[in-house]
């Protein structure tokens, strides 16, 4: 099984809504939030979520270097073979966090992808720098397909496979 780390903001991790946007970085050795939906799709590709890292998106925006260092450290410690940041859907703060963290993981040498909708301002900022799986706004049509695509792409990245053609099909 390939080892995947999922990175979420406070809302997606189930740690509360905007009143918890300043939540400090943390993690659990379990799939949280959308990780539970991703689990069966990842298993189809011989991959699993070994940990979920989370952080309030406002906390991240105020302390990007600190959070990035901690999350890369966690990924190294757990032996992550790839990282999925999101889904950030159309949420701007989580989109910025997802885009920046994905870039940092990739720059460090840990394959990473994110997922967000076209409505997320971060999509335009990061789409030419990293793989961003297309997804609808929250509750939009095609959500299930985007979860399948996230699982496929992050698994292929974990296996070290060339994903150029796949990215053209499912990413921005």
Do 54 and 7 touch, CB atoms closer than 8 A? Answer: yes
Do 91 and 114 touch, CB atoms closer than 8 A? Answer: no
Q: The tokens of 107 are what? A: 């720059």
The whole-angstrom separation of Cα 141 and Cα 164 is 25
pLDDT in tens, 51-92: 999 999 999 999 999 999 999 999 999 999 999 999 999 999
Q: What are phi and psi of 64, to 5 degrees?
A: -60, -40
Q: Identify the bridge partners of residue 2 per DSSP, sorted by sequence position.
A: 47
Residues of the chain with pLDDT > 90, as a percent, come to: 96
The pLDDT value given to residue 18? 87
The pLDDT value given to residue 149? 98
What residue ranges define each of the domains in the chain, with the CATH number in brackets? 2-170 (3.40.50.2300)
Give residues with Cβ within 8 angstroms of 94, minimum separation 6.
9, 11, 12, 57, 86, 88, 116
The pLDDT value given to residue 168? 98
């Amino acid at each position: 099984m390939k080892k995947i780390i999922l990175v979420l903001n406070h809302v997606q991790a189930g740690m509360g809504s905007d009143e918890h946007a300043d939540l400090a970085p943390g993690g659990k050795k379990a799939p949280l939030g959308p990780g539970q939906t991703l689990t069966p799709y990842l298993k189809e590709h011989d991959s699993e979520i070994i940990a979920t890292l989370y952080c309030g998106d406002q906390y991240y925006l105020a302390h990007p270097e600190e959070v990035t260092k901690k999350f890369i450290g966690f990924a190294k410690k757990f032996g992550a073979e790839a990282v999925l940041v999101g889904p950030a859907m159309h949420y701007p703060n989580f989109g910025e966090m997802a885009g920046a963290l994905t870039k940092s993981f990739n720059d460090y040498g840990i394959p990473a992808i994110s997922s967000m909708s076209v409505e997320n301002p971060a999509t335009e900022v990061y789409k030419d720098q990293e793989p961003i799986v297309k997804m609808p706004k929250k509750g939009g049509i095609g959500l299930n397909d985007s979860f399948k695509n996230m699982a496929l792409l992050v698994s292929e990245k974990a296996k070290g496979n060339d994903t150029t053609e796949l990215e053209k099909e499912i990413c921005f």
